[in-house]
C-alpha cells in the first residue's frame, strides 16, 4: 500500500544520507507535535505535560535511556505541522514522533515519520484508515481507535435499557464516525440524527428538536468548548433531569467539567481511563500530576503519560536503539510491557490497543466538589473493527 511512500523513502534517504547517525551517548530525540494554541490548546497542554511528567519522574530518562523532548505547536494547521515534522526528523534527527491531537494533522505528519523510517506513536488520534488497510509497521496508537468511545457509548446505552435515542454530532468526518460507532452497538431506535455546525455556539434549535421527539436518552459528540456550550444550554432548558446524556470523554473531562459546573451533574461519559481508577501506576500518576501542575489530570494527560511510558518500556528493552535496530524496537513496542495508568493494555495486530472502557458519571462529593466517578466497566478487552483489514502479522 505504501508503494509510493517506499519509493519516496529512497529519495529522502538519499537526501538525508549526509545527516550524521545518532551515537549511543546522545539522548534519543522524541518530537512531540501538538496543538497548543486556539480553543483546543488545552488538549495539547495536557498531552505535553503528561508526557513530560513521565520524563521528569525518570530524571530526564525514559526506561533508563536519556531522552530529549522537542515540543512544537501545530496551530491546528496541517501544512505547518508537516514542515515542523520534516525539520524534526531531518534536521534534529528525532527518531520518534508523537503528540498530535487531531486526525487531520496526523494524516500529514505520520507519513513524514514513516517515509523516513522513524516511528510514530499516536498518543491521541486513531483515525480508521490507519487502523485498517493503511496500517503500518512503524505506526502505533497508544490511546484508542477513534470509534471505541462511541461504540462503548452504544453498549452503555443498551446496558441502561434505553430504547429511543437522539444522536447529535457536528457535521463532519469525526461526527459521522461517531454516529457509525454508536449505531454499531446500540440496539434501540434512533429517533433523530442532528448534525450541527463546526464551532457552533447556540443550540436552542437543536434542544427544541430533542424535546419534541421525546427520546429516552441523548448521545452527543461535541468536542471541548462546543460541549460546554451545549451542556449549559441543555441544563437551562431544564432537560438535563428529564432526558439523560451519555457522551464520549471528549465531551466530558475534568477541564470541560470545570467550565460547565453543576449543569453537568449526573451526566455520563465513556472513557478508557479515569482519575479514580484503582491501580498503583494511576495513583502515582494522579498524585504527581496534581503536584506538578496544580490541576486535575484529563484523559489527554493520561494518554501523554502512557505514551511516554510505552516508549520507555521499548527503549529499555532495546537498549535505547530506535532506528539503529528498528526490528528490536518495534518488537519491544508491540510487547507493550509497561504499567499503564488505565490498567490493562495490549496491542492488537494492527498495533492499536485492546483495553477496558468505563462508564463515568459526574458526581458531587461531600465537600460539594464536582468530579467524575467511575460507576461501571462497560466492556473489557475492547478493540476495533478494522483490525481484520490490516495485513500486519505479529
Partner 1 sequence: MLLLVEQLLNGLQLGVFLFLVSAGLTLIFGIMGVINLAHGSLYMIGAYTGATVTQASGSYLLGFLAAACAAGLSGVVMELLLMRRLYARDHLDQVLVTFGLIVFVNEAVTMIWGRTPLFMDIPQALSGSVEILPGVPYPVYRLAIILAGIVAAVGLWLLIARTRIGMLIRAGSTNREMVSGLGVNISRLYTLLFAAGAVLAGVAGAFAGPQVSVQVGMGESILILAFVVVVIGGIGSVRGAFVGALLVGLVDTLGRAFLHDLLGLFLPPAEAAGMGAALSSMGIYVVMALVLIVRPRGLFSVRPAS
Partner 2 sequence: MRQHSLRILAYGLVLVSVLFPFIADAAESGYLVPTASRILIYALAAVSLNLLVGYVGLVSLGHAAYLGVGAYVVGILAFHADAGSTVLGIPGTVQGLLSIPAAVLLSALVALVIGALCLRTSGIFFIMITLAFGQMIFFMMVSLERYGGDDGLFMYAGPNRLGALDLSNEWTFFYVCLTLLAAFLLLCRWLIRSRFGRALGAIRQNEARMTTLGANVYRYKLAIFVIAGAGAGLAGALLANQASYVSPDMLHWTRSGELLFMVILGGSGTLVGPVLGGASFLLLEEYLPVGFGAAGLETLKEHWRIVFGPILILVMLFFRRGIYGLLTGEDRS
- For partner 1, the binding residues (CB under 8 A) are 37-39, 41-42, 45, 171, 176, 193-199, 201-202, 204-206, 208-209, 212, 224-229, 232-233, 236-238, 255-256, 258-262, 295
CB 328 within 8 A of CB 318: yes
Choose among partner 2, partner 1, none what residue 89 binds, the Cβ cut-off being 5 to 8 Å by kind: partner 2
Tell me the per-residue interface mask from 336 to 355 with partner 2, x by CB under 8 A, - otherwise. Answer: --------------------
User: Considering the complex, what minimum distance in angstroms separates the CB of residue 143 from partner 1?
Assistant: 20
Query: Is residue 77 at the binding interface for partner 2, with CB under 8 A as the rule?
Result: yes
Query: Is residue 184 at the binding interface for partner 2, with CB under 8 A as the rule?
Result: no
User: Considering the complex, what minimum distance in angstroms separates the CB of residue 269 from partner 1?
Assistant: 17
Among 8, 237, 281, 370, binds partner 2 (CB under 8 A): 8
Choose among partner 1, partner 2, none what residue 226 binds, the Cβ cut-off being 5 to 8 Å by kind: partner 1
Choose among partner 2, partner 1, none what residue 16 binds, the Cβ cut-off being 5 to 8 Å by kind: partner 2
Residues 102-131 that bind partner 2 (CB under 8 A): 103-104, 107-108, 111, 127, 129
Tell me the per-residue interface mask from 13 to 32 with partner 2, x by CB under 8 A, - otherwise. Answer: --xx-xx-------------
User: Considering the complex, what minimum distance in angstroms separates the CB of residue 34 from partner 1?
Assistant: 12
How far is C-alpha 361 from the chain's CA centre?
Answer: 20
Choose among partner 2, partner 1, none what residue 229 binds, the Cβ cut-off being 5 to 8 Å by kind: partner 1
CB 354 within 8 A of CB 381: yes
CB 164 within 8 A of CB 210: no
Among 46, 49, 72, 206, binds partner 2 (CB under 8 A): 72
Q: Is 225 exposed, middle or buried (0-12, 13-18, 19+ CB in 10 A)?
A: middle
Query: Is residue 292 at the binding interface for partner 2, with CB under 8 A as the rule?
Result: no
SS (H, E, C) the chain: CCHHHHHHHHHHHHHHCCCCCCCCCCCEEEEEEECCCCCCHHHHHHHHHHHHHHHHHCCCEECCEEEEEEEEECCCCHHHHHHHHHHHHHHCCCCEEECCCCHHHHHHHHHHHHHCCCEEEECCCCCHHHHCCCCCCCEEECCCCCCHHHHHHHHHHHHCCCCEEEEEEECCHHHHHHHHHHHHHCCCEEEEEEEECCCCCCCHHHHHHHHHHCCCEEEECCCHHHHHHHHHHHHHCCCCCCCCEEEEHHHCCHHHHHHHHHHHCCCEEEECCCCCCCCHHHHHHHHHHHHHHCCCCCHHHHHHHHHHHHHHHHHHHHCCCCCCCHHHHHHHHHHCCCCECCECCEECCCCCEEEEEEEEEEEECCCCCEEEEEEEEEEEEECCCCHHHCCCCC
Query: Is residue 12 at the binding interface for partner 2, with CB under 8 A as the rule?
Result: yes
Name the residue among 177, 218, 224, 175 with its Cα closest to residue 195: 175
Choose among partner 1, partner 2, none what residue 375 binds, the Cβ cut-off being 5 to 8 Å by kind: none
User: Considering the complex, what minimum distance in angstroms separates the CB of residue 142 from partner 1?
Assistant: 23
- Cell numbers placing 220: 452527543
Q: How many whole angstroms separate alpha carbon 126 and alpha carbon 262? A: 31
CB 115 within 8 A of CB 3: no
Choose among partner 1, partner 2, none what residue 258 binds, the Cβ cut-off being 5 to 8 Å by kind: partner 1
Query: Is residue 172 at the binding interface for partner 2, with CB under 8 A as the rule?
Result: yes
Among 35, 46, 69, 73, binds partner 2 (CB under 8 A): 73
Choose among partner 2, partner 1, none what residue 7 binds, the Cβ cut-off being 5 to 8 Å by kind: partner 2
User: Considering the complex, what minimum distance in angstroms separates the CB of residue 259 from partner 1?
Assistant: 4
Query: Is residue 361 at the binding interface for partner 2, with CB under 8 A as the rule?
Result: no
User: Considering the complex, what minimum distance in angstroms separates the CB of residue 67 from partner 2?
Assistant: 17
Query: Is residue 201 at the binding interface for partner 2, with CB under 8 A as the rule?
Result: no
For partner 1, which is the closer residue by CB, 29 or 48?
Answer: 48
Residues that bind partner 2 (CB under 8 A): 1, 4-5, 7-8, 11-12, 15-16, 18-19, 36-37, 72-73, 76-80, 82-84, 86-87, 89-91, 103-104, 107-108, 111, 127, 129, 134, 171-174, 176, 197-198
Amino acid at each position: 500500500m505504501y508503494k509510493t511512500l517506499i519509493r519516496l523513502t529512497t529519495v529522502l534517504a538519499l537526501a538525508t544520507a549526509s545527516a550524521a547517525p545518532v551515537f549511543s551517548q546522545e539522548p534519543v530525540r522524541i518530537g512531540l507535535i501538538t496543538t497548543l494554541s486556539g480553543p483546543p490548546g488545552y488538549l495539547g497542554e495536557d498531552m505535553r505535560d503528561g508526557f513530560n511528567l513521565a520524563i521528569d519522574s525518570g530524571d530526564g530518562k525514559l526506561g533508563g535511556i536519556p531522552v530529549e523532548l522537542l515540543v512544537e505547536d501545530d496551530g491546528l494547521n496541517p501544512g505547518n505541522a508537516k514542515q515542523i515534522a520534516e525539520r524534526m526528523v531531518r534536521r534534529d534527527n528525532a527518531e520518534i514522533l508523537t503528540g498530535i491531537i487531531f486526525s487531520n494533522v496526523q494524516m500529514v505528519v505520520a507519513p513524514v515519520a514513516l517515509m523516513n523510517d522513524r516511528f510514530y506513536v499516536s498518543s491521541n488520534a486513531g483515525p480508521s484508515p490507519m487502523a485498517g488497510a493503511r496500517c503500518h509497521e512503524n505506526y502505533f496508537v497508544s490511546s484508542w481507535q477513534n470509534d471505541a468511545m462511541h461504540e462503548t457509548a452504544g453498549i452503555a446505552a443498551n446496558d441502561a435499557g434505553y430504547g429511543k435515542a437522539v444522536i447529535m454530532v457536528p457535521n463532519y468526518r469525526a461526527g459521522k464516525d461517531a454516529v457509525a460507532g454508536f449505531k454499531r452497538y446500540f440496539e434501540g431506535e434512533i429517533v433523530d440524527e442532528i448534525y450541527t455546525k463546526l464551532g457552533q455556539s447556540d443550540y436552542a434549535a437543536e434542544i427544541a428538536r430533542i424535546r419534541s421527539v421525546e427520546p429516552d436518552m441523548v448521545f452527543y459528540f461535541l468536542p471541548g468548548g462546543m460541549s460546554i456550550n451545549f451542556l449549559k444550554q441543555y441544563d437551562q432548558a431544564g432537560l438535563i433531569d428529564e432526558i439523560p446524556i451519555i457522551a464520549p470523554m471528549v465531551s466530558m473531562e475534568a477541564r470541560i467539567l470545570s467550565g460547565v459546573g453543576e449543569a453537568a451533574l449526573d451526566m455520563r461519559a465513556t472513557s478508557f481511563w479515569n482519575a479514580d481508577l484503582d491501580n498503583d501506576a494511576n495513583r502515582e500518576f494522579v498524585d504527581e500530576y496534581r503536584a506538578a501542575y496544580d490541576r486535575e489530570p484529563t484523559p489527554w494527560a493520561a494518554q501523554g503519560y502512557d505514551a511516554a511510558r510505552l516508549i520507555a518500556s521499548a527503549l529499555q528493552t532495546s537498549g535505547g536503539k530506535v532506528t539503529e535496530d528498528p526490528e528490536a524496537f518495534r518488537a519491544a513496542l508491540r510487547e507493550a510491557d509497561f504499567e499503564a495508568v488505565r490498567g490493562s493494555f495490549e496491542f492488537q495486530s494492527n498495533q492499536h490497543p485492546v483495553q477496558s472502557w468505563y462508564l463515568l458519571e459526574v458526581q458531587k462529593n461531600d465537600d460539594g466538589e464536582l468530579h467524575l466517578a467511575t460507576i461501571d466497566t462497560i466492556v473489557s478487552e475492547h478493540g476495533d473493527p478494522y483490525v481484520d483489514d490490516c495485513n500486519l502479522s505479529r
